[in-house]
């Protein structure tokens, strides 16, 4: 049995490092076609900047774009990958067969490199994992030493091809079930709204994946009662988040509640169990040190990090100071558990996708992922320990302020 090591991209500006598998195709050769063509494209930049004639400038810009696209395609055609069956495809072909264009950097991540080396040397992969080493970039949620799933944009299609023929376990990130294991609990119902306590693992509304949803369950329930009611979604919780959800029984009621959310007239709070932090310092080559943020019972504060979708790794969100949408979260540490986990209450002042999960795990947030959050760095297993505990809004018909609170079950 052999153990292979790989890294994504470059290490210290080098593509080949002793002890690590080589790249699938080395672009760093200074005399290679890539470097020569790259220099020719770069040489157009000062010419474009200095050109006064607008027609000529447009011509040069079009030339640079065409050369860049040609070079990008050439790169993807040089990255030829294998699977255990011995089949070979270029990265360009793997993606084009799906009607897609490969993102820049596809094929240069650690796992494709290791799989390629294994196949070329007659080795059959038994197990693999990818972890982050070093400081996290500002835009992403990465913790030194933590394991993360491969990205969906670059590695998703590529690994689907490279793993073909191997007996692999189901992807835990896609372990969805269409079987309703735990029914939602009805907290309140009248002729206008229905409020439920959603269990973890249940979609709020039907989605792209084949999995049960609260909306579908409520509609079947109404159909079984034979009263002809239609059920309408007013807001959502992540599939793995449990807690209070309100649905409407008319378009008018739905519009009223959605307006309250949009105008921030709804009060809500969540509780979460944060994973235990490794308080040992991490020393990097430049002498910098990384320490998990120290949090103790009674601590309060805010996290404000702008968020946007990571287009190459859906549904993961990322921090983007330029194009991200503002996101603000209040937090309070409620308790410290024996194992080092923290029970925290969150009050979100905005409603961005994965806001609490990113604000918890990001190095500039609380620096600790929510327990069970495999997407943002906690691979300990079990459910996502995030619960929408409290919701306060005005009844669409009577105007009465209504409050609902439920306790989490993080077992």
Show which residues are catalytic.
Answer: 238
| C-alpha closest to that of 122 among 33, 4, 269, 17 | 4
Cis? peptide before 210, omega within 30° of 0: no
Cα 51 to Cα 59: distance, rounded to the nearest angstrom: 11
In angstroms, the CA 334 to CA 343 distance is 5
**Do 224 and 275 contact (CB within 8 A), yes or no?**
no
What does the chain come to in residues? Answer: 411
Q: Which of 200, 212, 211 is nearest to 238 (CA)?
A: 200
3-state secondary structure of 272: strand
Would you give the DSSP letter of residue 255?
Answer: H
Identify the sign of the CA torsion 326, 330, 336, 342.
negative
- Between CA 16 and CA 287 the distance in angstroms is 24
As a whole number of angstroms, the distance between CA 123 and CA 7 comes to: 19
Indicate the burial class of 2 (C-beta count within 10 angstroms; 0-12, 13-18, 19 or more). exposed
Strands 289-290 and 307-309: unpaired
């Amino acid at each position: 049995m052999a153990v292979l090591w790989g890294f994504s991209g470059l290490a210290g500006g080098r593509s080949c490092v002793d002890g690590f598998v080589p790249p699938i195709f080395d672009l760093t050769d200074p005399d290679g076609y890539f470097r020569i063509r790259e220099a020719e494209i770069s040489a157009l930049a000062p010419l474009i900047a200095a050109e006064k004639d607008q027609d000529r400038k447009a011509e040069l810009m079009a030339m640079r774009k065409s050369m860049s696209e040609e070079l990008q395609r050439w790169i993807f055609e040089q990255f030829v990958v294998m699977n255990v069956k011995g089949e070979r495809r270029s990265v360009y072909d793997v993606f084009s067969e799906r009607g897609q264009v490969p993102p820049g950097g596809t094929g240069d991540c650690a796992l494709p490199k290791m799989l390629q080396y294994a196949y070329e040397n007659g080795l059959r992969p038994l197990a693999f994992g990818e972890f982050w080493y070093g400081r996290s970039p500002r835009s992403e949620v990465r913790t030194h030493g933590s394991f993360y799933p491969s990205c969906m944009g670059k590695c998703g299609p590529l690994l689907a091809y490279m793993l073909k023929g191997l007996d692999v376990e189901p992807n835990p990130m896609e372990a969805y079930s269409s079987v309703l294991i735990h029914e939602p609990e009805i907290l309140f119902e009248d002729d206008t709204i229905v409020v439920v306590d959603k269990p973890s693992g249940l979609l709020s509304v039907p989605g792209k994946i084949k999995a049960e949803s609260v909306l579908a369950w409520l509609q079947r329930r109404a159909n079984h009662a034979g009263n002809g009611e239609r059920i309408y979604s007013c807001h959502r919780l992540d599939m793995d988040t449990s807690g209070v959800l309100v649905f409407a029984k008319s378009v008018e009621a739905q519009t009223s509640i959605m307006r309250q959310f949009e105008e921030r007239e709804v009060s809500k709070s969540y509780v979460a169990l944060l994973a235990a932090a490794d308080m040992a310092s991490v020393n990097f080559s430049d002498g910098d040190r990384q320490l998990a943020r120290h949090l103790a019972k009674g601590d309060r504060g805010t996290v404000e990090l702008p968020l946007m979708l990571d287009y190459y790794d859906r549904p993961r969100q990322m921090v983007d100071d330029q194009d991200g949408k503002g996101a603000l979260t209040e937090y309070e540490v409620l308790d410290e558990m024996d194992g080092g986990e923290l029970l925290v209450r969150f009050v979100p002042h905005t409603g961005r996708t994965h806001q609490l999960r990113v604000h918890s795990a990001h190095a500039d947030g609380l620096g600790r992922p929510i327990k069970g959050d495999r997407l943002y760095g906690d691979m300990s297993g079990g459910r996502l320990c995030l619960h929408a505990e409290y919701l306060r809004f005005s009844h669409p018909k009577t105007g009465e302020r209504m409050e609902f609170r439920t306790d989490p079950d993080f077992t």
